[in-house]
Amino acid sequence: MIYNASAECMDRKALERLQMERLQQTVKHVYENVPLYKERFDAKGITPGDIKTLEDLELLPFTVKDDLRQTYPFGMFAVSMRQVARIHASSGTTGHPIVVGYTSEDINTWAEAIARTLSAGGTTVGDIVHNAYGYGLFTGGLGIHYGAERLGAAVVPISGGQTKRQVQLLQDFGSNVICCTPSYALYIGEMAAEAELDLEKLPLRAGFFGAEPWTEAMRKTIEDCLGIEALDIYGLSEVMGPGVSYNCLLKCGLHINEDFFIPEIIDPITGKPLPPGETGELVFTTITKEAFPVIRYRTRDITSLSYEKCSCGRTFARMQRVSGRTDDMLIIRGVNIFPSQIESVLMEIEETEPHYQLIVDRQEKSLDTLEVWVEVSANIFSDEMRKLEALQKKVRHEIEALLGISVSVKLVEPRTIARSEGKAKRIIDKREI
């Protein structure tokens, strides 16, 4: 179901005109009201009038998380506190938390984004939405809450915790939709199994999961164990909160609310924009936000964009599921490589969380080599040598096809790769750079 077809299925030409108009307003707004932006624009010799086409976005400076820390608490707010209706903040384990603000119009926009999200997963008026995202400074709980209300659904604002009770209420209320983190969904599934409750028999139909990285394998597990459609929802508080992008029921990427946010993919090293389809760092510019607009905010999330129209009818660009963070990037023979890309290949082949390690080395004549060590799990082990050799070849070919550089693959015994605190060290870089 499409909540707002006139926006979500808008002709791309018309969408680009709308984006252009809104981008110009936003650039003017931040230039006049946020000192940090004025300073940065001035330093580059740019005035709001220089932004004449969407391509001119490239002229604008990036914003990074540290900028938001340095201006703690309200330095990036573009309106006076009289106009601010709500404040959220990240938990921030190190340094200052990231503080973001919303005008009542921003909250409206946000509710619209979530209403589109929930609707894309089949939520309708009359449905009961079990909202187990945390309520509070975190954007998850209230973000979903307002969107579900906007859609006309009945919200159960249960927040996190007390899982036994959650399972009980899911059953007693006959909730149709659940919203929480993917790992919490699995936990609920386990608790239900313990209570010998067959979740598949409940009216529960769909779940909207986000706020932490997850995989296609997890999606399958959740769908099987809860008997629902498991949909991916993406967002970050710096840009707005949940609802920046969302799966439709085809689950082929996440539709970005492009009338509110302009996405870009850049090379994380050079900062140069990359063409559609290429993998790089996701960058967002908000174009409707009043209280806390951001210009070219670097999310550090790794993904790629597709502008092809989806079979669901939406024209909004789709981002692939976030596959990693820029912090993990490797450069080998001039090619940017993310361990998560290799992980996704192994996941496809092994159908389970793979254990692997990347060994990067440099030979004479400064040729970098990449060796992929794969632990042979019972899933992929065969007692026939030709099958093991075929497996090794398949892994190598698929990684090479994806990365465009040659690699070697080594099959190793389980527990070869050292794990500390349950997490394996993924990269051994032996190069002396």
Partner 1 sequence: MAVTQISVFLENKSGRLAELTEILAEASINIRALSVAETVDYGVLRLIVDKPDLACERLRQAGFTITETQVLALEIPDRPGGLADVIRLLSNAGINVEYVYAFVGKAKDNAIVVLRLEEIDQAVKLLKKHGLEAVPAENIYRM
Number of residues this chain uses to bind partner 1 (CB under 8 A): 17
Nearer to Zn ion by Cβ, of 85 and 249: the residue is 249
Q: Does residue 319 touch Zn ion according to CB under 5 A?
A: no
Contacts of 95 (CB under 8 A, 6+ apart): 69
Q: Does residue 405 touch Zn ion according to CB under 5 A?
A: no
Q: Does residue 404 touch partner 1 according to CB under 8 A?
A: no
Residue 323: closest CA among 213, 184, 164, 239 = 213
Binding partner of residue 32 among Zn ion, partner 1, none, CB cut-off 5 to 8 Å per kind: none
Q: Is the CB of residue 200 less than 8 Å from the CB of residue 227?
A: yes
Query: What is the token pair recorded at 283?
Result: 């960058």
Site for partner 1 in 302-361 (CB under 8 A): none
CB of residue 385 to partner 1, shortest distance in Å: 5
Select from 70, 270, 382, 406 the one that contacts partner 1 (CB under 8 A).
382
Rounded Cα distance, 20 and 22, in Å: 5
CB of residue 314 to Zn ion, shortest distance in Å: 5
CB of residue 420 to partner 1, shortest distance in Å: 17
CB of residue 364 to partner 1, shortest distance in Å: 22
Rounded Cα distance, 115 and 119, in Å: 6
Nearer to partner 1 by Cβ, of 378 and 418: the residue is 378
Q: Which stretch binds partner 1 (CB under 8 A): 34-42, 209-217, 334-342, 406-414?
A: 406-414
Select from 66, 94, 364, 385 the one that contacts partner 1 (CB under 8 A).
385
Q: Is the CB of residue 212 less than 8 Å from the CB of residue 181?
A: yes
Q: Does residue 312 touch Zn ion according to CB under 5 A?
A: yes
Region of residue 396 (phi > 0: left; psi between -120 and 50: alpha; otherwise: beta)? alpha
Q: Which stretch binds partner 1 (CB under 8 A): 31-39, 340-348, 361-369, 376-384?
A: 376-384
Biggest CA-to-CA distance, the chain = 72
Select from 225, 310, 322, 358 the one that contacts Zn ion (CB under 5 A).
310
Nearer to partner 1 by Cβ, of 106 and 375: the residue is 375
Contacts of 225 (CB under 8 A, 6+ apart): 186, 189, 193, 199
Parallel, antiparallel or unpaired: strands 423-424 and 419-420? antiparallel
Q: Which stretch binds Zn ion (CB under 5 A): 87-95, 246-254, 322-330, 343-351?
A: 246-254
What are the residues binding partner 1 (CB under 8 A)?
Answer: 376-378, 381-385, 388-389, 410-416
